[in-house]
Amino acid sequence: MTSPSRPATAARTAGDSTRPPAGLPRAGLAVLITAVFLPQVDFFIVNVALPTIQSSLGASAGALELVVAGYGTAYAATLVLGGRLGDMIGRRRMLLTGMSGFVLTSLVCGAAPGIVVLLAARILQGAAAGLVVPQVIGTLHATLSGERRHRALGLYSSAAGAAIVVGQVVGGLLVTANVAGTGWRPIFLVNVPIGAVALIAAGRLVPESRSPHPLGLDLVGTLLFAGTLVALLVPLAEGPTIGWPLWSWVALALVPVLAAATVVVERRAEAAGRVPLLPPSLLQLRSMRRGFALHLPFMLSYGAFMFVFALTVQTGLHSGVLGGGLAVLPLAVAYFVASLAAPRAIARFDARRVVAVSAVAVALGLLVLVLVTVTTWPRTDYWAFAPGLVLAGAGQALVFACLFRLILLDVPEHLVGVGGGVVTTVQQSGLALGVATLGTLFVGLLEKTGVGTAFVVSLAVQAAIMLAIAAGSLTLPHLRARPGETGVAVDAWPPADRRSGVLHNGLIRRRG
């Protein structure tokens, strides 16, 4: 059982809302959804503008990958830190700080004179996004209750699916419009007026809240984790395009060293009664171990697909920027619809089975794209990709929803906030890794074999990953709703496995 120590109390209340709920007006909810929507859109909006950015700034293919992956890496590294800062000093205060940073860095991105400035601004923009997003979910829990909270959380979840549509399509419209000859720059500059209005409104409409017992910061763990990602992503993205200089090999050699240091620091922090960025005791839970073994490659494949597909449609099929945005519309719509149906699917069929079937559906959708490409390239009409995209998008939404629930299955209720932060960090890291790994594979093949062949090989690798996920889903626990519930109750691991861990200082420790 938990110790009566302060760390235990802090862990129990981590992510807890202040009681009683302070209340959130509808206009305040709209501001919060806008605040979380903009950072999510910005991960996808840049994909359709990459060829234009390359020609405008003379950027290398590796630099283009870093424009995407650098944002995702900084986003992932600051999510948990941002959440804990909000718990400590006030969520509205951190929301305003993060939004101010996001607006300012968006302005710098849009005005960047060269690729180096754009890369630096994108990293800072991702860090600002990581400060914004945790405040939204924390404020929803702190200021709403009952049905209003459920509806608000539903809007929060739907924003992710809508971000794909808006990011790709609006990005294509803005670049195609070429407002005053600015080309790709409006995809960043559009954040400035919208973000500024949201920032002013947030100061007036969003109530302040904080945790009565906030968790401490894990600055060392955060820096080591971020350093590990950077040491891995930068050489993978840049190395192939510049001939693998010495620094790239040195950076890769540092990856296991930094990773090992992260593990040591996190274990020591947990042993001292603190809750680190990536709590080892949580990661040792069977649901987390096996869930992450599938979730990380899934996010890697998803991030790579969005990057590769946008480049293929624009550079290979010469569809134009708007065409590149519209081409992904079937996937985005299918993803959004399937995400709404996910709770019912879990309740009826068991999440483990849904993961298996849905992962196979994604693989089949990708193979349909391969078949279309092989049989029609280079005269392919991008609308011919629609059937495969619909199949893949629906499957992706269901896999994502099920794995998120399964990963958190064994996490004690008072640590769900901590566990959710770990899951989101892994998600964003996976998106960045996908661009840096499979994106690099695509770019390397593109120069040697052409766009069509590179696209086919990339899709084949992604399909193989999804089939491996389908096979691996057999090791996951069962998850099904009990009668009258909404799809989140469980037939979990056997009781003996549940009892194999005890709580100490608010964290999970294994007996023996």
Least-confidence region, from 158-162, 215-219, 352-356: 158-162
Model pLDDT, residue 296: 92
Model pLDDT, residue 416: 66
- pLDDT grade, residue 500 (50/70/90)? very low
Model pLDDT, residue 114: 93
Model pLDDT, residue 20: 44
pLDDT tens digits for range 484-498: 333 333 333 333 333
pLDDT tens digits for range 391-423: 999 999 899 888 888 887 877 766 766 777 788
- pLDDT grade, residue 216 (50/70/90)? confident
Secondary structure letter of residue 492 according to DSSP: -
Q: What is the dihedral of CA 303, 305, 309, 315, to 10 degrees?
A: 70
**CA-closest candidate to residue 138, choices 203, 78, 88:** 88
Model pLDDT, residue 367: 96
Model pLDDT, residue 244: 86
- Locus of tokens 């948990």: 80
Q: How open is the CA angle 69-452-386, to the nearest 5 degrees? A: 80
Mean pLDDT of 143-164: 73
Model pLDDT, residue 487: 35
pLDDT tens digits for range 285-302: 888 888 889 999 999 998
Model pLDDT, residue 311: 86
Model pLDDT, residue 22: 54
- pLDDT grade, residue 124 (50/70/90)? very high
Model pLDDT, residue 215: 79
Mean pLDDT of 176-182: 83
pLDDT tens digits for range 69-110: 889 889 888 888 888 888 888 889 999 999 999 999 999 999
Q: How open is the CA angle 223-229-233, to the nearest 5 degrees? A: 145
> Is the pLDDT higher at 191 or at 168?
191
Model pLDDT, residue 512: 36
Give percent of the chain above pLDDT 70: 86
pTM: 0.79
Model pLDDT, residue 389: 95
d(CA 244, CA 447): 16
Model pLDDT, residue 341: 83
Model pLDDT, residue 186: 92
Model pLDDT, residue 173: 84
- pLDDT grade, residue 317 (50/70/90)? confident
Secondary structure letter of residue 16 according to DSSP: P
Q: Do the Cβ atoms of 287 and 411 come closer than 8 Å?
A: yes
pLDDT mean across residues, the chain: 82
Q: Do the Cβ atoms of 177 and 49 come closer than 8 Å?
A: no
Secondary structure letter of residue 45 according to DSSP: H
> Is the pLDDT higher at 505 or at 231?
231
Neighbouring C-alpha atoms within 13 Å toward the C-beta of 119: 18
DSSP 3-state of 285: coil
DSSP 3-state of 493: coil
Model pLDDT, residue 18: 41
d(CA 318, CA 265): 50
Model pLDDT, residue 165: 67
pLDDT surpasses 70 at 327: yes
Mean pLDDT of 347-364: 89
- 416 CB-near residues (< 8 Å, 6+ apart): 15, 408
pLDDT tens digits for range 16-62: 444 444 578 888 888 998 888 888 888 878 888 888 898 889 888 88
pLDDT surpasses 60 at 3: no
